[in-house]
Homo-oligomer: A and B are copies of this chain.
Amino acid sequence: MVNTEVYISGLMLENPIIPASGTFGYGREFAELYDINILGSIALKGTTMKRRYGNEGPRIAECERGMLNSIGLQNPGVDAVTDEEIPALSEVFTKKVIANVCGFSIEEYALCAEKISRSDKVGIIEVNISCPNVSGGGMAFGTSPEAAGEVTKAVKAVSKKPVYMKLSPNVTDIAAIAKACEKAGADGLSLINTLAGMRVDIKKRKPVLTNKSGGLSGPAIFPIALKMVHDTAKAVNIPVMGIGGISRASEVLEMIMAGAHAVQIGTANLIDPWVCRKIIEELPALMERSGIDDLDGIRGAAWKKQ
């Protein structure tokens, strides 16, 4: 029997499979489809202080093996999330969740994280400093080591839970930003968020998305995500959640060999709502076939001296 357990910052996950923020709502839609208790954990939709509608539509565009989204952080606001969404989720999901927060100022990040971290249900706070779809917030904090460090410090100062900084791939040196977060006290890192992208409607001669550009996600970005997870995991001593383009058990193992502690599955949930269950079912068999007893044994194998 292989062991799929992974330990991250106080949470012992039954398996490393976590649906990614923004692609699993607050779990409700998926709980209708399968028993979501099989999941390692769930990363909740990005939450801001106030309720947000997000950007005007169209906010989805199709790409080759991927998609652009420019949702712009639609969410009911932190109070509704803590008072309604999390309690509702608790009825169908018994494990701890990862709360994802975003803000338009360092203060908002801290306020939002503090509030949501009070929930018993929340095991980890994931701080999105990498949303490419809102101006004046999100990614603005994730593209310089200094700003990333400042957000980290502010959130760490108030959060009652371990803090993971969610990093943007739209940078020259992701490892440098990762190190700044680590230095500022981050307990872990989540990466990658989406890559800035665009499609043009040649009939209308303007961008498909009303927001003009959006974030690219899905299988197309997997090799980019894997390289960034590799570079980051090598550079820091805190856990890394590998995110980006994963849709198969073999890609979970690639991510862990690149140095990830656990993984998050995003867009794949939209294409196949049962994909996380499939991966969780396939993983042990694949591990067995590959001679892997437990995931700790292969973490970083792609770069660690054997």
Contact = CB atoms under 8 A, between A and B. Distances in A.
A205 to B, nearest CB: 4
Interface stretch (A2-10, A104-112, A252-260): A252-260
Contact of A206 (B143, B216, B219, B302): B302
Contacts of A64: 65, 219-220, 222, 245
A297 B212 CA distance: 20
A63 interface: yes
A70 to B, nearest CB: 12
B290 A65 contact: no
A195 B221 CA distance: 10
Interface residues of A, number: 45
Interface stretch (A39-47, A179-187, A196-204): A196-204
Interface in A122-153: 143
Interface stretch (A16-24, A48-56, A88-96, A224-232): A224-232
Given A64-B245, A65-B220, A197-B224, 10 more contacts: A64-B219, A143-B173, A171-B172, A195-B224, A197-B226, A198-B302, A200-B226, A200-B253, A205-B257, A219-B220
